[in-house]
A and B are shown apart, each in its own frame.
Chain A
């Protein structure tokens, strides 16, 4: 913990960076957009086995109806985000890169934004098992970007003791403000979701961690919590990547998740605020996840804001609605530090997409982006939140010593937050080197 933070009592982790945050959309209330005429719903929006379609070409579906079922325990179902007709089930572009099977839905013109399919249930009667089952049925995944099935997270592995639920309200990526708006606008649903998650995981206390650049959200949530509530709000330093699970656990509880381990190893379960607010909203109604809030921002956007969009909305539709300009453009899904760049306008918003950014950065061909040799300035070493040595790893990657990187220099502890590339004065694409190294190691292991 830095000296200043010790003095001022702000909780934080060591290292990390302070990029310009550009949280200009923080005061823009969540709005809806008109439905697009077509939705693209990849079957593998979540981590785990892809869902199995329940519909066939030409079939009519109503908004909210299940259209794909989970494939076993490590998988989640999908629901129709709009009323319409299944056009096809075919290969479509996805944010992750390779094309994958997707249900393509033609949306009926003028179809309602009310959800037509629900199975209300009395939540207080449910056991932990039943809540976990209900979460899986809702198709909920980590909405912070990981898209990890939420019910899996809440099942405590055999032999592990979990005492704390951490709710991640850091939103440390620049530009993104959707979680911030959810905390401001839906505190009751969020707290309901926290209660469900606590019951499902059997945790006695819950801590909502929020960066100190969102004090209004801190106040709103504290105002909604009664005295003696097992849920409390803690303020943490605004620093990237505060919102990474391991960093936030370190900041709040001073516990270190062991290398290669899970939060459960130190008695913690972490969930994102958007995920739990979603559960608080969906579980009592027995509905599925069909839409999410995304931040549409960046210098290339005419009307930046926070929008609630149906899953599967092609980014071209959002850009048309929000307007964009700029001759040279980068389209990013998620935040600028970790989000992938996309080129296809029919790439859909999926469960794990937290934002759509349009950046007008200087072109890669410009002199300012020239790659220089490593001058061993050690800025990456003091930026890496995992305390790795990116300088050394980068030089080893250049020599293709991929196995040694993993064995002797902890390559696999890198979670690709991008801090090293961000600070590198030589513009060395360190994170990309590490991705390649990991991919090659994985390939050789199989």
Chain B
């Protein structure tokens, strides 16, 4: 006992599993990177610029609100980065950059900072941002561009560089000029809904179709999601239940009238369902904590998604389904409190 040691007094437990918030969030970013890389490969410069601008906006907004709230910087927890990446992945690749800035700022300001920051937000910030621009810029958010057009690494999609506060130009001529086989300017969902054309499942799995920047390859999203689930940084029950709820609901209608309604596999692989199920519905902050609650929440999102898709005016319903699920979370948690060990359930 030559040196005097510093004695630390703290309360038990004196051991910790080791995972922390930063590590979990960082792993979500890792899981999103392949999807980002794919979208850049698929849509080129425009996707790259959009990813950069939206994520940077989210980070700057987060810092701004740290300042305004006099809280320590929360950039290092990666949550704003995730919001930025996820938000970009739900936008059309040719989305005007200035609108991306609006979406990113709204996502952080209304979706997160307003509630008090990380862990306090009632709903997924990225989806709040997306819902805002969906209402504000209905044309731009449904302007789709073909994947893998040839000059994608040398030129922007014309809508990308729309000057601030102006609506984006029409791109029909440009699309016709970039020479992509049989591009109809619509997503598989829209094709199915309005024209009754079924897109090939293989194409939707691999992501050669039109769609939002990060939602086209169902297979890639599934693999990235499974990585997170395997590392136990994502509750696998939520995406599985979302998919189950969607598949069963779609299946019922498909059995009733196969000519009119899409089959369950199409429903699972099209639109934002995969991305939403694996990366947004599963967002820990907005989902229930009880075992039964998680199942109800997942099923609910799946069912609502399909109902919006089949009977609503919109082609896609994942975003609103998840936001509704988020809104219902406190209630679900409340009514699904687990039976405590040794508790005698009396009939009330």
Contacts and interface: CB of A to CB of B under 8 A. Distances in A.
Interface of A: 17, 19-20, 174, 246, 250, 256-261, 319-320, 324, 326-332, 336-343, 357, 359, 361, 363-364, 368, 370, 372-378, 381-382, 385-389, 391-392, 409-410, 413, 416, 418, 421-423, 425-427, 429, 431-432, 435
Interface stretch (B1-9, B49-57, B60-68, B197-205): B1-9
Interface stretch (B112-120, B168-176, B259-267): B112-120
A219 B11 CA distance: 37
Nearest to A414: B340
B164 interface: no
Interface of B: 1, 3, 5-17, 19-24, 77, 117-120, 235, 284-291, 294, 333, 337-344
A70 to B, nearest CB: 30
A174 B15 contact: yes
Contacts of A372: 20-22, 77, 118-119
A341 B11 contact: yes
Given A372-B77, A410-B343, A338 B290 contact: no
B134 to A, nearest CB: 26
Contacts of B10: 330, 341, 364
Contacts of B118: 372-373, 375
Given A258-B344, A327-B5, A425 B285 contact: no
B12 A337 contact: yes
Contact of B21 (A330, A343, A425, A429): A425
Nearest to B76: A367
A375 B12 contact: no
Contact of B120 (A319, A373, A418): A373
A359 B14 contact: yes
B14 A341 contact: yes
B5 A338 contact: no
Contacts of B235: 378
8 contacts: A20-B15, A259-B341, A330-B10, A336-B15, A339-B14, A410-B343, A416-B12, A426-B119
Nearest to A365: B8
Contacts, number: 163
A435 to B, nearest CB: 7
B132 to A, nearest CB: 23
B277 to A, nearest CB: 17
Contacts of A370: 20
B342 A257 contact: yes
Contacts of A382: 291
A426 B22 CA distance: 9
Given A258-B342, A258-B344, A385-B341, A431 B5 contact: no
B17 A422 contact: yes
B208 to A, nearest CB: 36
Given A328-B5, A337-B13, A359-B14, A391 B289 contact: yes
A422 B340 contact: no
A258 B23 CA distance: 39
A387 B338 contact: yes
